């Protein structure tokens, strides 16, 4: 069984995750600090807003989701005063192998 979700509903879902404090990673257009040769390419990157989610046309990000699944460095928890805090993540836009 398969189901579809409208673009509006999808963006609302992503916005809800961001509002809950989750780290949401998805395909987005990035302006490159390296120079104009890489400007406007799509990369998997953390989203601060559902408007940043690239959904138009054929999306094939230039980087791999692997850097978010198996990060080189990951904060497991934080300590604020006497409270431990952690942050959940949602990885979005990954296709099957």
Tens digits of residue pLDDT in 26-53: 999 887 666 665 567 888 999 999 999 9
**In this structure, what are the phi and psi dihedrals at residue 30, rounded to the nearest 5 degrees?**
-120, 135
Give the pLDDT of residue 86. Answer: 62
In angstroms, what is the C-alpha Rg of the chain?
15
75 burial level (CB within 10 Å; 0-12, 13-18, 19+): exposed
Q: pTM of the prediction? A: 0.69
Q: Measure CA of the first residue to CA of the last residue in the chain; give whole Å.
A: 20
pLDDT for res 41:
83
Q: What is the pLDDT of residue 69?
A: 77
Q: pLDDT under 50 in the chain at which residues? A: none
């Amino acid at each position: 069984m398969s189901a579809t979700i409208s673009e509006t509903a999808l963006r609302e879902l992503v916005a809800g995750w961001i509002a809950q404090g989750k780290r949401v990673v998805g395909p987005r257009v990035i302006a490159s600090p390296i120079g104009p040769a890489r400007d406007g390419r799509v990369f998997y990157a953390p989203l601060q807003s559902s408007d940043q989610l690239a959904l138009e046309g054929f999306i094939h990000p230039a980087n791999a989701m692997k850097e978010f699944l198996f990060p080189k460095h990951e904060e497991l928890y934080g300590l604020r005063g006497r409270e431990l805090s952690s942050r959940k993540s949602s990885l979005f836009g990954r296709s099957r192998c």
